[in-house]
Amino acid sequence: MNVIREIQPKDLKRLKEVIDSTGLFPSELLDEMTNDFFTNQNTSDIWLTKEIDNNPIAVVYFAPERMTEGTFNLYLIAIDQKFQGKGIGSEMMTFVENLLKEKGNRILIVETSSLPEFELTRKFYDNLGYTREAVIREFYQEGEDKVVFWKKLNI
């Protein structure tokens, strides 16, 4: 079975492995980050996974930007390293964009690091038609800028 669905608490252990396989994000933050999604029935956070044969191999997390109308921010996307380069990241992003469009949202923002190990991540968003909208110098730490990507959804 090959499906994209909302994450469930039973997925967390496996999703931490997925995140750890990328080496780009601290998986120990996952429990706290997903808490509102699992405990607040009115949450606007969206957490999805792609599973193949009942095994989660990807995770994506996005939520509305506060004090905006129809603007979402993608906070996390991770594809198990064994499945990278097979179009799954693009499939997940297309799913997210279509879901947001269907609900009448306008813009998706993605923020990432300027460090060399994130070069493939930045190229990924370039290839998906995102615009490099801004660079906030030394945002994460000295020598590490935030690169902000932007895409209009309702065109």
What are 46-87's pLDDT values in tens digits? Answer: 999 999 999 999 999 999 999 999 999 999 999 999 999 999
How many angstroms separate the CA atoms of 28 and 103, rounded?
A: 31
Domain boundaries, the chain: 2-108
Q: What is the mean pLDDT of the chain?
A: 96
- Please state which of the four CATH numbers 3.40.50.300, 3.40.630.30, 3.30.565.60, 3.40.640.10 is assigned to the domain occupying 2-108: 3.40.630.30
Sheet holding 144-152, edge to edge: 2-6, 46-52, 55-64, 71-79, 107-113, 144-152, 131-141
Give me the mean pLDDT over the 96-124 stretch: 96
User: What pLDDT is stored for residue 61 in this prediction?
Assistant: 97
Single pTM value for the model: 0.94
Print burial letters for 115-150: b (CB count within 10 Å at least 16), e (below 16): beeeeebbebbeeeebeeeeeeeeeeeeeebebbbe
Q: Is 71 helix (H, G, I), strand (E, B) or coil?
A: strand
User: What pLDDT is stored for residue 30 in this prediction?
Assistant: 95
Task: Give 23's pLDDT tier (boundaries 50, 70, 90).
Answer: confident
Give me the mean pLDDT over the 139-150 stretch: 98
155 pLDDT above the threshold of 80: no
Give me the mean pLDDT over the 119-130 stretch: 96
User: What pLDDT is stored for residue 25 in this prediction?
Assistant: 87
User: What pLDDT is stored for residue 48 in this prediction?
Assistant: 98
